[in-house]
């Protein structure tokens, strides 16, 4: 382990698509073992930022370090520390859940024994009949569970989930956050994006992104107290307003 380095360190990160600035100089840390919520409406720049952190998207300027390793200079080593669940459909829809698990296990570099041990875990949580269904036919809540399971197969210490609760009903969302909390108790570090501002309550700390800029960051309760607001929705409106005046 690399001592005191934060799990993720982002400094003045920018992304331009042609003349459009999607991410405009964002800086934050994620400490080891915390759940950080990456909140913001559609188009805020959440996916773009997460993809730059994971090394999937070229950085325009700024730096990303993963446990002290610069993502550009040490891409392979930094990527090994992270598991990433993309916002888009990340499983093959025409394969069954089990076939997906087999396939992704096969390319994960894990031994057969590790894969078997891992696969046994999901059988405890999801009924066999569901696992034998085509992913296409599995309800969104369970599908996301399987997708997260696949992303966790290499057992990464740092987990980035991009909108895992999007399109999932409220009860399944709550259960999903339960699973996320379970990962924290196993010592994992989590950065989880969502456009549902009310999911802030599940996070140790939140980052609010708007138009490619970080407009608020901190512990949810502390932020509400500091801004004298009752909920994150109100805080968000306030922060946009304040930010516009700067
Ligand atoms: P979020 O994940 O918060 O919804 P995104 O990071 O997907 O936001 O997008 C941020 C902004 O960047 C949006 O305005 C989006 O249209 C734009 N964008 C994303 N990817 C591209 C791309 N490949 N080319 C041009 N613009 C893009
Ligand atoms: Mg997105």
Q: Name residue, tokens 């009860």.
A: 171
Mean pLDDT to the nearest integer, 224-234: 91
How far does the centroid of ligand 2 lie from the alpha carbon of residue 125, in Å? 28
Residue 107 confidence (pLDDT): 82
Split at pLDDT 50, 70, 90, the class of 114 is confident
pLDDT exceeds 80 at position 2 = no
Residue 123 confidence (pLDDT): 87
Task: Give the closest residue to 160 by CA, choosing from 63, 30, 72.
Answer: 30
Residue 3 confidence (pLDDT): 56
Q: pLDDT tens digit string along 121-173?
A: 888 888 999 999 999 999 988 888 899 988 888 889 999 999 999 888 888 89
Cross-sheet strand order for the sheet of 61-66:
20-30, 8-17, 61-66, 69-70
By most ligand atoms within 8 Å of CB, the mutation choice from 43, 85, 164, 215 for ligand 1 is: 43
Q: pLDDT tens digit string along 188-213?
A: 999 999 999 999 999 999 999 999 99
Task: Give the closest residue to 49 by CA, choosing from 214, 184, 196, 181.
Answer: 214
Cβ 194 under 6 angstroms from ligand 1: no
* Cα torsion 194, 195, 199, 202: sign: positive
Tokens representing 159 are 């987990």
Identify the weakest region by mean pLDDT among 5-19, 57-71, 167-181: 167-181
Pairwise pLDDT comparison (4 vs 74), residue with the higher score: 74
How far does the centroid of ligand 2 lie from the alpha carbon of residue 183, in Å? 22
pTM of the complete model: 0.92
Give the contacts of 74 (CB within 8 A, at least 6 positions apart).
none
- Strands 61-66, 69-70: parallel, antiparallel or unpaired by DSSP? antiparallel
Pairwise pLDDT comparison (177 vs 109), residue with the higher score: 177
Residue 172 confidence (pLDDT): 87
How far does the centroid of ligand 1 lie from the alpha carbon of residue 213, in Å? 13
All domains of the chain in start order, with CATH: 8-81+157-245 (3.40.50.300), 92-155 (no CATH)
Split at pLDDT 50, 70, 90, the class of 82 is very high
Question: Which ligand places an atom closest to the C-alpha of 60?
Answer: 1
How far does the centroid of ligand 2 lie from the alpha carbon of residue 86, in Å? 9
Residue 244 confidence (pLDDT): 72
Measure the CA–CA gap between 208 and 133, rounded to whole angstroms: 37
Closest Cα to atom 16 of ligand 1: 43
Split at pLDDT 50, 70, 90, the class of 4 is confident
Q: Are 47 and 193 in contact (CB under 8 A)?
A: yes
Question: Which ligand places an atom closest to the C-alpha of 48?
Answer: 1
Measure the CA–CA gap between 219 and 167, rounded to whole angstroms: 26
Q: pLDDT tens digit string along 24-70?
A: 999 999 999 999 999 999 999 999 999 999 999 999 999 999 999 99
Residue 120 confidence (pLDDT): 87
Question: Which ligand places an atom closest to the C-alpha of 86?
Answer: 2
pLDDT exceeds 80 at position 246 = no
**DSSP of the chain, one letter per residue?**
--TT--SEEEEEEEEEETTEEEEEEEEEEE-TT-EEEEE--TTSSHHHHHHHHHTSS--SEEEEEETTEETTTTHHHHHHTEEEE-SS--S-TTSBHHHHHHHHHHHTT--HHHHHHHHHHHHHHS-HHHHTSBGGGS-HHHHHHHHHHHHTTT--SEEEEESTTTT--HHHHHHHHHHHHHHHHTT-EEEEEES-GGGGGG-SEEEEEETTEEEEEE-HHHHHHHHT-SSHHHHHHHHHHHHHH-
Closest Cα to atom 26 of ligand 1: 17
How far does the centroid of ligand 1 lie from the alpha carbon of residue 44, in Å? 8
Residue 1 confidence (pLDDT): 47
């Amino acid at each position: 382990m690399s001592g005191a380095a934060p799990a993720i360190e982002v400094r003045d990160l920018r992304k331009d698509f042609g003349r459009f600035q999607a991410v405009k100089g964002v800086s934050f840390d994620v400490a080891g073992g915390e759940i950080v919520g990456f909140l913001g409406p559609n188009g805020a720049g959440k996916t773009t930022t997460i993809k730059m952190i994971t090394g999937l998207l070229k950085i325009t300027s700024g730096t990303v370090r993963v446990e002290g390793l610069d993502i550009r200079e040490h891409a392979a080593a930094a990527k090994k520390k992270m598991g990433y669940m993309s916002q888009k459909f990340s499983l093959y829809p025409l394969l069954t859940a089990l076939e997906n698990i087999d396939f992704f296990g096969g390319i994960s570099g894990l031994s057969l024994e590790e894969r078997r041990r891992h696969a046994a875990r999901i059988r405890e949580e999801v009924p066999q009949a569901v696992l034998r269904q085509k992913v296409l036919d599995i309800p969104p809540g369970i599908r996301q569970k399987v997708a997260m399971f696949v992303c966790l197969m290499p057992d990464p210490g740092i987990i980035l989930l991009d909108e895992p609760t999007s399109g999932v009903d409220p009860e399944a969302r709550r259960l999903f956050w339960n699973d996320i909390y379970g990962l924290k108790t196993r010592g994992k570090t989590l950065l989880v994006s969502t456009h549902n501002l009310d999911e802030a309550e599940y996070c140790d700390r939140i980052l609010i992104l708007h138009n490619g800029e970080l407009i608020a960051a901190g512990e949810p309760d502390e932020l509400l107290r500091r801004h004298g607001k009752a909920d994150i929705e109100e805080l968000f409106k306030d922060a946009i307003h304040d930010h516009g005046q700067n």
